[in-house]
A and B are shown apart, each in its own frame.
Chain A
Amino acid sequence: DVKVTQSSRYLVKRTGEKVFLECVQDMDHENMFWYRQDPGLGLRLIYFSYDVKMKEKGDIPEGYSVSREKKERFSLILESASTNQTSMYLCASSPPGLRNEKLFFGSGTQLSVL
């Protein structure tokens, strides 16, 4: 089975801190994604990457950046955390190609910014 691992289940950070959320997948997937999940808003795409060192903005990239130095690892970075970034963050991966849209998700990181 595909395994997507997010390094932290819960994180508490202070406003202005730089925050790193780590995600690792073990299925050699080219595509990786970061979503945030908020009650009543569903899942919203922040950033995605379709190859090492490649990154593309999703629908809500403001306040975030990403890093993909290795194929299996995709990091989400909050340069200066703010309270409105308190959320559940979900990492996902998928194989390449048009007919491989099924995403495999990690368990999520619940981030609280105080």
Chain B
Amino acid sequence: GESVGLHLPTLSVQEGDNSIINCAYSNSASDYFIWYKQESGKGPQFIIDIRSNMDKRQGQRVTVLLNKTVKHLSLQIAATQPGDSAVYFCAENRDSNSGYALNFGKGTSLLVTP
């Protein structure tokens, strides 16, 4: 079946730098995308989401960009902090037959160094 994937499994950035985490998706029918952050020992927590009628959405220190032409999604974190160290998952929505479940990528581990 179609799947969501990530370009890089790990990313190391210096504190204060900007981080960019990338995600490729292959289901052209998906119209909702979401990023989760998972800290060690915790469940995934919502960061930001975007619908396919938009190409950019901003939150607090985070921005999600959607490029439907190349089926690419990215998460940008500004002024990365040690507390941003976590695994980040992108996900896309599935159809109504799955109860609108989400299909997840494999995750990218972000490590913020001092």
- Residues on A facing B (Cβ under 8 Å): 4, 31, 33, 35, 40-45, 48-50, 56, 58-59, 90, 92, 94, 97-108
Does B78 sit at the interface, judged by CB under 8 A? no
B82, chain A: closest CB distance, angstroms: 21
Contact at A42–B101, with CB atoms within 8 Å?
no
Which of B13-21, B38-46, B58-66, B67-75 faces chain A? Answer: B38-46
Closest residue on chain A to residue B107 by CB atoms: A42
How far, in angstroms, from A100 to B34 measured CA to CA in the complex?
Answer: 12
How far, in angstroms, from A92 to B91 measured CA to CA in the complex?
Answer: 14
* Inter-chain contacts of B1 with A (CB < 8 A): 59
How far, in angstroms, from A107 to B41 measured CA to CA in the complex?
Answer: 7
B99-114 near A? 1/0 per residue, CB < 8 Å: 1111111110000000
Contact at B102–A42, with CB atoms within 8 Å?
no
Contact at A48–B99, with CB atoms within 8 Å?
yes
Nearest 8 Cβ contacts at the A-B interface: A105-B43, A43-B104, A42-B106, A101-B93, A42-B104, A50-B99, A48-B99, A107-B43
Contact at A98–B43, with CB atoms within 8 Å?
no
* Inter-chain contacts of B28 with A (CB < 8 A): none
Contact at B104–A48, with CB atoms within 8 Å?
no
How far, in angstroms, from A15 to B106 measured CA to CA in the complex?
Answer: 28
Contact at A40–B106, with CB atoms within 8 Å?
yes
How far, in angstroms, from A52 to B89 measured CA to CA in the complex?
Answer: 29
